[in-house]
Amino acid sequence: MPALATAVVALAPRAPRGSRPPRTTKTITSRDGVRCEVSQLAEPPAQLRFSMDADAARAVIEPAFDEDARQRCMSGDFTPALSAEDIAAARAMSPGQTEFALTYGELTYEGCTRLGEILAMGPDDVFYDLGSGLGRATIQAHLQWGVKRAVGVELSAERSAQARRAVERLEQNGQLDHSRRLDLVCANLLEGSYREATAVYLCCCCWDSTFVAQALEVLEKRAVNLRQIVTIEPLDRKFGLRPAWLTLKQETRVGQTWAPEGYPCYVYEVTR
């Protein structure tokens, strides 16, 4: 199969705050028979063109994963149980995190497509997913958004290994674009440099306030080219954080496996 072309033709104009573009709802069924409703934009912004839609991304990416790691909606922790070492590492990194932090969830393909529409990134942008899990969103950003580089950083060695296997299968099938970089890193996200990052996604709903503050401090100091941060919890109301260098630009919803119809997300603009 030839390598996929993945260029973004132009950036989308920003929608006025509070506007609600038309959306469409459909039902999807996973391999194990779980059915769920997903919502996505009825039409993408007129000037934003991805190489594939959410369904096409699913058709390319899902077969690359092991059977027990296929994406399922609303089914809780469907991945193999984490090792004692991985659980200990997660608790050491964020001691106050909730038990739900060990229950796996991620962006749906529709949710990741919507995130790409929100960020409107181009061929000079670098996207980081901090806490990337099985790497789906990072892989989808590489294949669909047309970014210069997509990087996923995940602490769990087990999930990182599954993500690498998926990438290896995509590579074997000729489905990666070698003109642009795709990197999946097994590491503590507090240890990254992030110099190239222009947009960062933090799935921080289960992290404690201290760890979120540490992550933001790292990004403020090291991510010198950063323009946008997306979180799925409000920094002020959930964590009591009001970084002077970030301005809330947009509140919207994106599909997550535990809320495929849409879960809140918050887009912050870097204003330092």
Residue 9 within any structural domain of the chain: no
**Would you say 143 and 57 are in contact if contact means Cβ atoms under 8 Å apart?**
yes
Residue 120's nearest CA partner among 252, 257, 262, 272 is 252
Q: Which of 99-103, 231-235, 267-271 is predicted with the least confidence, judged by mean pLDDT?
A: 99-103
Q: Which position has the higher pLDDT, 95 or 196?
A: 196
**C-beta neighbour count of 95 within 10 angstroms:** 10
Mean pLDDT over residues 257-272, rounded? 93
Answer whether residue 2 is part of any domain.
Answer: no
By C-alpha distance, which of 257, 161, 145 is closest to 203?
257
**In this model, does residue 6 exceed pLDDT 60?**
no
Least-confidence region, from 8-22, 201-215, 217-231: 8-22
Inside any domain, residue 17: no
∠ at Cα 260 (269, 182), nearest 5°? 55
Cα distances (Å, whole numbers) of residue 168 to 14, 19, 247: 36, 41, 39
Q: How confident is the model at residue 12, as a pLDDT?
A: 30
Across 3-13, average pLDDT: 30
Let me know if residue 149 belongs to a domain.
yes
Q: How much is the pLDDT for 74?
A: 58
The per-residue pLDDT for 110 is 97
Strand partners, 184: 152
39 located within any domain: yes
pLDDT at 72: 78
Judged against a pLDDT cut of 80, whether residue 2 lies above it is answered with no
Does the pLDDT value for residue 122 go beyond 90? yes
Q: How many CB atoms lie within 10 A of CB 86?
A: 17
* Contact partners, residue 270, CB within 8 Å, separation at least 6: 226, 227, 228, 229, 245, 246
For residue 54, what are the domain limits? Answer: 23-270
The 10s digit of each residue's pLDDT in 229-263 is: 999 999 999 999 999 999 999 999 999 998 899 99
Structure confidence at residue 10 as a pLDDT band (50, 70, 90): very low
Within a domain: residue 177? yes
Sort 154 into a burial class: Cβ within 10 Å, 0-12 / 13-18 / 19+: buried
CATH for 55: 3.40.50.150
Domain count for the chain, please give it: 1
In this predicted model, what pLDDT tens digit does every residue of 29-84 receive, in sequence order? 444 454 544 444 444 444 466 889 999 999 999 999 998 888 877 545 455 566 77
- Predicted confidence at residue 38, as pLDDT, reads 47
Residue 20: count of CB within 10 angstroms of its CB: 7
- pLDDT tens track for 124-154: 999 999 999 999 999 999 999 999 999 999 9
Provide the mean pLDDT of the chain. 82
| Residue 86, CB-side half-sphere exposure with 13 Å CA sphere | 18
Q: Specify if 16 maps to a domain.
A: no
Residue 7 within a domain: no
Query: Helix (H, G, I), strand (E, B), or coil: what is residue 190?
Result: helix
Q: How confident is the model at residue 5 (pLDDT cuts 50, 70, 90)?
A: very low
Q: Which two tokens stand for residue 21?
A: 């573009």
The single-letter code of the amino acid at 147 is V
Q: Which of 230, 237, 233, 213 is nearest to 267 (CA)?
A: 230
Quote the percentage of the chain above a pLDDT of 70. Answer: 76
Task: Give residues with Cβ within 8 angstroms of 113, minimum separation 6.
Answer: 40, 50, 53, 54, 57, 140, 144
State how far the Cα of 260 lies from the Cα of 251, in Å rounded to an integer.
17
